[in-house]
Structure 1
């Protein structure tokens, strides 16, 4: 017999419910398992959201839809952003053991970043008409979803403030957390705006591109939420109030984020799709990427003509023509030189960290994770 149930619900996994933490145990940070601690928080907060929906008497099919959307879009990433909050808090505590409450709350803030990331990715995939994300079809391409994914993205974002209110409302830094998430979302959306108007898919004009525009886009679209946000959240939890400490952290984390995004641009063209979990489409999508800007900066008149005629087109032959120009110009070698220069430059910034409320280890941990990454 044919199963006529939509694919969206046939693949749904049941919710696993863990008891709410008692916050009574004190963990030894040298003995803890950060990934397990992080993952253990997800079923707790997922059930909190579903319980809230049930309390509103929302029909079961809507609850199942949300459950599936949440799991499909929040889970499955590398989780580096989310894991960074608790890691940074431990570093800032300088060896002082974290209580179970601190571990839970730090990881909860990490999951809030993962929810924010899910909101951005669902939206971005629709705007870019992307095909895959994290090794599976983009959410809007799943059978039965379509443009409902737009509203799903809004719900994913709103869940962040549900978590913050439930778990941080009585903390002195509650307003700081809300403002930080709002500001970071705004910054990211400004970066996305410039990205979209600089490189619309239906109007390819490479004259709009520049290395300066690319820098603004990646700092605002990626660096703030991927690098500054998790560290700033941990700093608030650690009781840091001095604005100078946040400014010094920002001065290092934004260049780190820019370097990370340039790596992403490189991997989109030269990475293994099975490793990075998506098929690179920056050339087809007319993206203002680091690679095309480097090419435009050094291309001959003939090479520029080839780029103008082929960039932003979805035909395989056009993509191949652009990549051939990249080879002629040695763009891959330019990236490797950029990577080494960035490594030296950012490490020099890290060595200058002298604020008593910060630690160089906060920043070196980022560098260790991303230097010469392949995914």
Structure 2
């Protein structure tokens, strides 16, 4: 089997679990005496908004459990890991349905945003709540008897709160219809990225995998001085947050530097007034005259003004700054990963090497 075929088979197996949990959720909903029209609506909401993306976040739960256990998973282990993966995907769907309304977005994953369907409209607000509630229904049914059930609840609640904090800062910093670059800075960008993206996209899947793999809160490892206490969840966080920040900075850079053929879309961060790493780096490097050009041209729905901003980014050497940043951050991450002392039933370097390998020097 080729790597492409193996990848497709892996995705198909994961999607098969979605069909089971979707039917389970809809059956429970119908069992509450809901009318047929509402049952169909809920099923359509789940089908339209949950399974259509890349599924990287969800499938990484399963991948991480396999790495931590160091073997192929039993059928029950796979099912439980995949359910947690789909809980992460449900959280993502909840955020995206709401985010698309806040941003007045047009399309999502190659189809109209859910709220833009004529029959849906503002009902999408309640639909987003139902996607979130489905997470806790699944956790209750499948994990309530597990000793780590409360930890899973805490993890999903805390991560949701963190993401919503980041979303608020992003919304008030960079509204599409009001450009004010005085609110932008690399520090503000970092705060938005860590809270809005890194916690739920990177830490959440790994923490889910650690909990289902029964990784303890602390354990002891051999050290030069005798022994040392490891707090694996804190250690994972210390690697995954900078990894998530790197991923988003890379995304911001590709929006500016990548071609539509390369990244599969036309970059819109400049015209959309995004608080991206690229513009924040430009603000830091710009002379007073260059800053004035940015103030007058950034965040405008105007192709000529967009060209002027892109030309300024080139003039400021953003490509070189990014290349230097990438090598520096990857060097730091590799060092931190390399320092992990592996023990049985503990963290494995491969968990983080796998994430880093997928991201480093990606072009789309």
Using the size of structure 1 for normalisation, the TM-score is 0.86
From the superposition, tell whether residues 284 and 148 of structure 1 become closer, same or farther in structure 2 (CA, over 3 Å). farther
Aligned to 2:313: 326
User: Does structure 2 conserve the Cα–Cα contact (< 8 Å) formed by 1:201 and 1:312?
Assistant: yes
Q: CA offsets, 1:93-152, max 9 Å, x none?
A: 123x42211110001100110111111111222222222222222222233322222221
* Stretch deviating more after TM superposition (221-230 or 348-357): 348-357
From the superposition, tell whether residues 146 and 287 of structure 1 become closer, same or farther in structure 2 (CA, over 3 Å). same
Q: Unmatched 5+ residue regions in structure 1?
A: 1-29
Q: How many residues align?
A: 344
Aligned to 2:148: 173
Q: CA offsets, 1:348-372, max 9 Å, x none?
A: 1111112531110000000111112
Counterpart among 233, 256, 264 of residue 251 in structure 2 = 264
SS at match of 1:247: helix
* Stretch deviating more after TM superposition (273-282 or 78-87): 273-282
From the superposition, tell whether residues 215 and 155 of structure 1 become closer, same or farther in structure 2 (CA, over 3 Å). same
Using the size of structure 2 for normalisation, the TM-score is 0.89
SS at match of 1:179: helix
| Partner Cα distance (2:323, 2:307) in 1 | 21
| Partner Cα distance (2:108, 2:214) in 1 | 37
| Partner Cα distance (2:107, 2:315) in 1 | 29
Aligned to 2:362: 373
1:107-146 mapped onto 2 (5 Å cutoff): 107-146=82-121
Aligned to 1:26: none
How far 1:272 moved relative to its partner?
4.4
Counterpart among 211, 218, 222 of residue 236 in structure 1 = 211
Counterpart among 152, 156, 177 of residue 131 in structure 2 = 156
From the superposition, tell whether residues 242 and 149 of structure 1 become closer, same or farther in structure 2 (CA, over 3 Å). same
Q: Unmatched 5+ residue regions in structure 2?
A: 1-5, 219-230
1:1-375 mapped onto 2 (5 Å cutoff): 34-95=10-71, 97-243=72-218, 244-273=231-260, 276=263, 279-354=266-341, 356=343, 357-375=346-364
User: Does structure 2 conserve the Cα–Cα contact (< 8 Å) formed by 1:135 and 1:274?
Assistant: no
Please report the RMSD computed on the Cα atoms of aligned residues, expressed in angstroms.
Answer: 2.0
User: Does structure 2 conserve the Cα–Cα contact (< 8 Å) formed by 1:191 and 1:221?
Assistant: yes
